[in-house]
Structure 1
Amino acid sequence: MHKIFLFICIVCFTQQAFAQIKPINTQVLVVGGTTGGTAAGIQSARSGAATIIVEQTHMLGGMLTAAAVSCTDGNDGLKSGIWQEFREALYLHYGTRNLASGWVSNTCFEPHVGDSIFKSWAAQEKNLQVIYGWYFNKAIVANNKITGAQFINAKGEKLTVRATIVIDATDLGDVFASAGAAFDLGMEDSAYSGESEARVKNDIIQDLTWAAVLKDYGPGANKTIPVPQVYDPTQYYCSTKDAPCNAKAYPLGTQQVLNYGKLTTTDTMHAKYMLNWPVHGNDYYLNVVAMKPIKREAEYLKARNQTLGFIYFLQTQLGFKNIGLAEDEVNNGIALMPYHREGRRVKGVVRLTINHIKTPFNYDLYKTGIAVGDYPVDHHHGKYNGIVPDIVFPQVPSFNIPLGALIPQTLDGLIVCDKGISVSNIANGTTRLQPVVLLTGQAAGIMAAECIQQKIQPRNIEVRKIQQALLDLNCYIMPYCDVDPTDPAWEAIQKTGAMGLLKGVGKSIDWENKTYFYPDSAVVGEEFSIGLHSNFDSVVFDKNLFNKQLTIDDAKDILLDNSHLLFNKIESSRPAPKPSLFFDARFWYEKLHLSNFDLNRTISRKELAVFLNYYQDYFKTYPLSLKGEMMTK
């Protein structure tokens, strides 16, 4: 009798553990409410596609919220798209435009505030459903096309979501790997990557961090946590100037180290701090890429314990017992998920390497840009238990992400965002950061909705159509820091830059790199000639103008000489210009909204961009391939 009862119990448990929830159908499925996934899902819905985000935690925003890395890196001067929209919401919440409370970033905020912003946006979209508490389990693939995904929860229940387009927004590239797409993992040698900086091919990935949010509970408070398992205080030696150290001590004191990630808060009595400290702190080497997402949780306890040990060290060894885990943030102060810096990188239709970032105008990929970044290359390898090749990371200007890096080489039905896009190991050190990933996700959402509306595969997307949609949302496609969307000439400059008719100048500047358009500078004949020749074969250009700063009259002559190229397909709403009216005062003031008309003065780069953009929609007339090559319709 007992054996029969036991058998019945086992059968019942097995049925419950593998219970199937009724399948769901949607147009766009976003796997992961990560930084990129949240942006992708919200934008896909805004663009008209029925969209579902499936997220394993109870928060939206990934790195920015659930991983508690809420001091952002980079893009402070690039006021682009959903990244700037997010910052504007933070400014409104905190009642200030100064969020530089921590010295690591100009944008520091509380994770719960970021989560509330993303959730409020999601709630406004009738086309969007967010499902929490489900881990990705496996991709559903048929005839080399992904058609959905299966998820599993802590109870062992399974959920199937079928979709026309799937977006892989996982930190580690779980979806495209499960679907059979080719990918890269770890470091590369120069023969493979084409980068002189690359050294040795191996499977070493960057350290991850299980971040935490700390709170100052005031003088006299004792928030000391229980001693963590496997606690070794020597791991945290040299983490601050005040810590014991048998080597070179870190030069800043403990309070200064805490201020590294000090968060903006409306509570003036109790400071909060992001604990994401790489110097003998809470970085941790852990490679769980090959494991199923739900199975990783047990391994993550090691990284979580590393962080608890650091907190205990700060409290007991360094005397900060009044600073404890913030009970009103994430999981009682501990992140819900790790801050993964690196995972799989899909082999895409195109691949962004550090060569493209260093010298973008030597290649055509920059013409296909859909997101921008300005952070230097930054890898974390301090906790790897072995020898890490000594890679010298180059100085870089600001850069953009090519559209084709989001599309797998051969697999259909899938768009990749977050950290798994097609980049080299070295390039990943800058493309992985929060603002870039947020913007990449927004572009992925637009791409997914376009695929639904046009009934096409991602690889058949028109680059210029996606770029125009991004520009309509004030998203930068070129990383020009000296002209922002409030400038009436901004879109014209972005388009002229993406055509390569006038190129910018990139500069490496510490932790915030730049590319300048120099809108008020004069146009030099040679640079405009190079820009024209890079797009058209039969350009007419007077060599006497090569070394000259062009006047408005010079520009008029060049444009008239090449009108067969520049104005061969005029928008119906803007009839072809008559030569006599090409550059007259009325046209200059009333149509172009420019000032100081004088044929004999030099024409600025901004003015030339505005003129070119007024009479020609290059994005419709001259489509691009995913590799940045001009195509003819």
Structure 2
Amino acid sequence: MIKKILPLLLFFISTYVHAETIKTDVLVLGGGASGVAAAIQSARSNVKTLLVEEGPWLGGSMTSGGMCILEANRNLPSGIYAEFRGRVNNFYKTRLGYDTTRNAVLAFEPSVGASILKKWTDTVKNLTVKLSTPFTTVKKDGTGWEVAITINGKTDIVKARALVDATELGDAAAKAGVLFNSGFDSRKDTGEQQAPDNATNQIQDISWIAILKDFGKAANKTIAKPEGYNPSLYTCLKKASIPKLLASGALINDKYMINWADCGNQYSVTSNDLLPEDRENTFKQARLRTLGLIYYLQTELGYKNFGLSDEFPTKDHLPLIPYIRENRRAMGLVRMVLDDIYTPYDRGSKLYRTSIGIGDAMPGQSYITPGAPKIKYPPFPGYTIPLGAVIAKDQENLFVTEKALSVTHLVNASTMYPSVQMTLGQGVGASAAWCAFFKKTTKEIDARKIQEEIMIYGGSIMPFADIPKTDSAYRDVQQIGATGMLQGILKITGNSAQVLFMPDTIVYTAEVKPFLNDAYTRSFLWFNRTSPGEKFTLGNLLSYISEMSLTDPQTLLRVMQANWKTKYKFSTTFDVSRPVTRREFAVLANRYLRPFARKVDLTGKLVN
């Protein structure tokens, strides 16, 4: 008996002795779109960063999950996502027919995307990446976190000042005890007019995407009949245009992304189906649904020459993970609702002032189960994602991304897209790094400092579609926009919408007076004394700057006139009697009045 027990004791002693404690500033759990971006930005912000991914690839949904055609945010290329687009375009630029224009839909082979991300992260200073590394426990460690990870069968302990949950299903936040919502929210709960009367636990379908390849007319790539194959699930495809469906998912090298609705490869789930104890069976059934679709396509519709590409290191050549659109949504310090997208300036809270990410993805409504509410979204504009929505409530220094954001069901239908998540991830990484670098907690977090860091590294905080990064006024416009001193203008064209700054239009007194009076204590005295007309003139602006900055008016006038076209890059004529343009107002107000320096709380309220 002793002889049998002794080896077991030695094993446990050996395991304990060799367990390593890894100390890092920021720990990112999950190597999806947001996780990679968060890790890169955190490391660039000069803190030690560890990225842990349980699978063999980086990229999450857009690589391991096969969602490799990204339409969202192509008109708002920003920061790390813009860099990723550039790296993909650079890889394919010599391939005939590949569209590398600035705002083209981004399409790539999943294995190529994963390879690009791995090579990229390997070169980032302060960043360590561990693939094929699951985590088992998450617990508080003072104001930081302690996480157990498994490397080659051995458990190591990671201690971090800040933790980012970038997992596909919010698993780290769940282990940390965060409270969640799931399913459709009711209109009474969220105040969203588009929400249904009653809440339900229905979430968007998952899809096990497939990457097919055309092997030529003579090829026969028919797979074995899948377990439980039911051809009636796919009969509506006989009325569909298969060439059109294939073309919608066309990739390079005769490959096609198959992510078809209706009787395609969507699989209906509730949030309960994605609980850890039920996932294995749920994922098996979703996988069989896709294999059945391929078998039907090959045997019933005559596409036997279309076979599964060897894109993924799996036995059946399907992706490593399903494409998950939604799961549990964490309770954060704030919750983002549709009105924060459609009417951000009209709300009591001004969450746009705390923006750390931007998006423009059209909301998806992926439900094959009859009876799911169909939402009538008005034309969907670009929007901002607030800092408070990524900070878990009652959990210091815990940030949530992917589908665990503190948003409503209707907002998640847009924010969950990989390209939006990669843009947001940069802001999350900057936020986590700030806490770690300054040894602060999320209770003390400063939105303006985070926003400055995002912009230093090429990111955007406002979704203005008409001010490119190359514009000399870009940063001024971004910062003025984030204060609300000059608000974005919604332009609707048919079913699409854009948020514009319209830099060459004039400024009206009524649009700037409320903010100026709120932000500057002597402002109302100036307005009472000056009584500017309906149109705010350049002279009015210079007079106001002189008053607020205590600068001699004539000195200011001479300096402005001397620097008008050289320092400030204005192409207009210097004339104090004409109405000032929004570009001129943004540049001069930002540099002389410095409204962006005013601290705001997580609701966007100015802090005195």
Q: TM-score, normalised by structure 2?
A: 0.91
Give the superposition deviation at 1:329: 4.2
- Is 1:552 matched with 2:535? no
Query: What residue in structure 1 maps to residue 25 of structure 2?
Result: 27
Q: Which whole-Å CA distance do the structure 1 matches of 2:104 and 2:287 have between them? A: 24
Give the superposition deviation at 1:10: 9.2
Alignment partner of 1:262 out of 238, 250, 266: 250
Query: What residue in structure 2 maps to residue 581 of structure 1?
Result: 556
421-430 vs 588-597, greater mean Cα deviation: 588-597
Q: Which whole-Å CA distance do the structure 1 matches of 2:562 and 2:289 have between them? A: 69
Give the superposition deviation at 1:505: 1.0
Q: Which whole-Å CA distance do the structure 1 matches of 2:169 and 2:177 have between them? A: 14
- Tell me the C-alpha RMSD between the 2 structures: 3.0
| 1:291–1:71 Cα change, 3 Å | closer
Q: Which whole-Å CA distance do the structure 1 matches of 2:499 and 2:266 have between them? A: 32
Query: What residue in structure 2 maps to residue 504 of structure 1?
Result: 488
SS state at 2:499 partner: strand
Give the superposition deviation at 1:54: 1.1
Query: What residue in structure 2 maps to residue 62 of structure 1?
Result: 60
Give the superposition deviation at 1:579: 4.0
Indicate if the aligned counterparts of 1:139 and 1:150 stay in contact, CA closer than 8 A: yes
Indicate if the aligned counterparts of 1:358 and 1:395 stay in contact, CA closer than 8 A: no
1:418-497 matches, within 5 Å, as 418-497=402-481
- Is 1:150 matched with 2:179? no
Counterpart AA for 1:238: C
| 1:509–1:60 Cα change, 3 Å | farther
Q: Which whole-Å CA distance do the structure 2 matches of 1:555 and 1:391 have between them? A: 45
Q: Which whole-Å CA distance do the structure 1 matches of 2:344 and 2:415 have between them? A: 15
Give the superposition deviation at 1:615: 2.1
Give the superposition deviation at 1:512: 5.4
| 1:274–1:390 Cα change, 3 Å | closer
SS state at 2:69 partner: coil
Query: What residue in structure 1 maps to residue 607 of structure 2?
Result: 631
Give the superposition deviation at 1:14: 9.7
Give the superposition deviation at 1:396: 2.9
Counterpart AA for 1:231: Y
| 1:235–1:262 Cα change, 3 Å | same
Counterpart AA for 1:197: Q
Give the superposition deviation at 1:182: 1.9
Alignment partner of 1:280 out of 250, 263, 266: 263
1:196-207 matches, within 5 Å, as 196-199=193-196, 200-207=198-205
| 1:11–1:300 Cα change, 3 Å | farther
Q: Which whole-Å CA distance do the structure 1 matches of 2:246 and 2:274 have between them? A: 34
Indicate if the aligned counterparts of 1:376 and 1:510 stay in contact, CA closer than 8 A: no
Q: Which whole-Å CA distance do the structure 2 matches of 1:577 and 1:326 have between them? A: 71
Show CA shifts across 1:296-321 (max 9, x none).
34531111111111111111111111
Q: Which whole-Å CA distance do the structure 2 matches of 1:209 and 1:21 have between them? A: 38
Indicate if the aligned counterparts of 2:220 and 2:305 stay in contact, CA closer than 8 A: yes
Alignment partner of 1:216 out of 193, 214, 217: 214
Indicate if the aligned counterparts of 2:537 and 2:576 stay in contact, CA closer than 8 A: yes
Among all aligned residue pairs of Structure 1 and Structure 2, give the percentage whose two residues are the same amino acid: 34
Question: What are the ranges of 5 or more consecutive residues in structure 1 without an aligned counterpart?
Answer: 244-248, 569-575
Q: Which whole-Å CA distance do the structure 2 matches of 1:592 and 1:88 have between them? A: 30
Q: Which whole-Å CA distance do the structure 2 matches of 1:536 and 1:194 have between them? A: 33
Give the superposition deviation at 1:208: 0.7
Give the superposition deviation at 1:507: 3.5
Q: Which whole-Å CA distance do the structure 2 matches of 1:510 and 1:372 have between them? A: 22
SS state at 1:162 partner: strand
Counterpart AA for 1:477: I
Give the superposition deviation at 1:482: 0.2
- Is 1:191 matched with 2:177? no
Indicate if the aligned counterparts of 1:60 and 1:119 stay in contact, CA closer than 8 A: yes
- Is 1:362 matched with 2:338? no
SS state at 2:462 partner: coil
| 1:600–1:291 Cα change, 3 Å | closer
Query: What residue in structure 2 maps to residue 246 of structure 1?
Result: none
Give the superposition deviation at 1:362: 1.1
1:565-580 matches, within 5 Å, as 567=549, 576=551, 578-580=553-555
1:173-184 matches, within 5 Å, as 173-184=170-181
Indicate if the aligned counterparts of 2:138 and 2:148 stay in contact, CA closer than 8 A: yes
| 1:617–1:440 Cα change, 3 Å | same
Query: What residue in structure 2 maps to residue 316 of structure 1?
Result: 299
Show CA shifts across 1:43-74 (max 9, x none).
11111111111111111111111111000131
Give the superposition deviation at 1:161: 1.9
Give the superposition deviation at 1:279: 2.6
Indicate if the aligned counterparts of 2:271 and 2:328 stay in contact, CA closer than 8 A: no
Counterpart AA for 2:463: P
Counterpart AA for 1:323: F
Query: What residue in structure 2 maps to residue 306 of structure 1?
Result: 289
Indicate if the aligned counterparts of 1:99 and 1:107 stay in contact, CA closer than 8 A: no
Q: Which whole-Å CA distance do the structure 2 matches of 1:14 and 1:5 have between them? A: 15
Counterpart AA for 2:391: I
1:28-177 matches, within 5 Å, as 28-95=26-93, 106-142=105-141, 145=143, 147-152=145-150, 157-177=154-174
Give the superposition deviation at 1:428: 0.7
Indicate if the aligned counterparts of 2:205 and 2:325 stay in contact, CA closer than 8 A: yes
Indicate if the aligned counterparts of 2:208 and 2:287 stay in contact, CA closer than 8 A: yes
1:407-418 matches, within 5 Å, as 407-418=391-402
Indicate if the aligned counterparts of 1:419 and 1:437 stay in contact, CA closer than 8 A: no
Give the superposition deviation at 1:421: 1.2
Q: Which whole-Å CA distance do the structure 1 matches of 2:416 and 2:40 have between them? A: 20
Give the superposition deviation at 1:174: 1.2
Indicate if the aligned counterparts of 1:112 and 1:329 stay in contact, CA closer than 8 A: yes
Show CA shifts across 1:499-545 (max 9, x none).
11111112455675310100111222222224424544643336964
Q: Which whole-Å CA distance do the structure 2 matches of 1:444 and 1:150 have between them? A: 22
| 1:150–1:169 Cα change, 3 Å | same
